[in-house]
Structure 1
Amino acid sequence: MRKTVAALLVAALGLNTYQVHTSNAQSVPDLQIAAKISDPLGTNIYPNKSLSEKKQMMEFLGNFPEEVQHFDIKSYKDDELVRIAATNTTKYGIGPLKKLMKSIVVRPLTDQDGKTYDWPYYKIPKKDTEQYIQSLFGVTPKKVSKSYYENGAYYFPSWEAGGGNEDSPQIERMYAFGKGYYYVELTRYYIEAVNYDPKLWQSFGDFEHMPMEKWSKAIKDRIYVEKEGSWHAILKENVINGKKTWRLVEYNKGTKLTKTQITKYISKL
């Protein structure tokens, strides 16, 4: 029944599921950088970042799980922004809105075939939703469909299949391009516990947002990881009230950009 419900939500909202095949799972990969070679993008500044800076960037990139395969700040739909916030909140428990999942209402949900079902939705305040979206993208929605917004509130469809695990965005390279813009290359890994023990898992803390080389032997011995794919991202650094924050500008799975492409893209922002 859970698979049926999950499939329904996927079909209705255009989401992708990711299934771990533990028989094919690999041990934690070694992300040590190989011998230094000439880098056409310039200097990879990521290795010189402090551990706290690396964790902050990984936590930010944690907001864009495997479902988010493409984003471009120059070309997006408002429903796309809300869908990311909704999936993070109801499926993964990512972000500040998870604490506001209190009020449930039944609303019609229409799938891609035009079939409509009664579905439980979480009613989330407009102000909180738009603050979260602003923190991710630097913009707020202006024109959202009734699927997500009505009468001054946002509605997030409940993920009735039981949710999912946060993945681990492992950053490999980072390059500065001036005016606060950075180009990042990363690989995302799905993580699964071996013989899941809730207390033990909790004791591991927020290791998903820690570089793999910093994971303890206890963690490595009790998990499988599976590569979801490689992404590139263009990020914008902001400083608000003395605190460094990030905004997602461009994001794509399975591609890398050249220095010329990055410079040209940023010049048009």
Structure 2
Amino acid sequence: MARHNYVSVIAFVRKEPKFKDTIDGRSGIIGLTTIMSGRDYNKATTGYQLNSVSFCARSQEKEILDIMDTLEVLDIVEITGFLATREKDKKAECPNCGASNRRIDACVAHGKVKSGGNEIFIYPITLRLKKKCETEQEAFEYLHANKEDANRVFLLGNLTGPPISGVLQNGKKPYTRFQLAINRKYCPKGGNEVYERTDYPWVYSYGDKSIEDFQNLEKGALVFIDGALQARKFKEQYVCGTCGQEYDVRGRTLEVLSYDTEYLRLPNPIGKDEEEEDDNTEE
């Protein structure tokens, strides 16, 4: 597995695994919960993130599916794998007339959206049972005892567009967010075909680091992210295509919190001093 998209988490089973047969074979999904690591989270937190991080793991690998099939709610597992995304046609029902509205048509937040939304999940390469717990408190205590290793993400990719900045907590907490394009190749165990695809996770940075990211990054920049999975609540506004009613749609999303953003290659690495020198020459 390429190290430019690497996730390592310790989590407990939140929902029992589900399986189904598809054209490509049997697939499984399991709901999991981990926590934020104990690194620089207190400096990064804004109050919008959730201390616990719920996410899903999906797989079509027989070895992984066999282990999934043995898991029960509150089992502690250790997963290594990669962060995967896929487009999803999200919909929400109008509370006024009951009509179903597609996000790509009805969502007005931040202008016209470009897609119906993304599903973000972990694709495991390894999955191991670590411990069986009797209560959720016991499971969380185990995670906090291993918080340094519970939630780690390493990404290498290019920005799909310019970074976006904003402020939270009444202007006291700046943030920068940007989307990465991460290419990967993988071959399922026992298979001969190599698959190629691109994943598009969103990355957030906060505080002084976010200001530095916004000032330095631009579309096409190659960056390395040392971070963690984070869950965030969101609210979007829809306009019903049937009755014209405006209504809010709330949910949760999975993203990456950047503890450190390393700038590996910038599209236009010209410095301000050089720009000022050129301007003086022209005058």
Relative contact order higher in (CA < 8 Å, ≥ 6 apart): 1
- Greater per-residue strand proportion: 2
- Greater per-residue helix proportion: 1
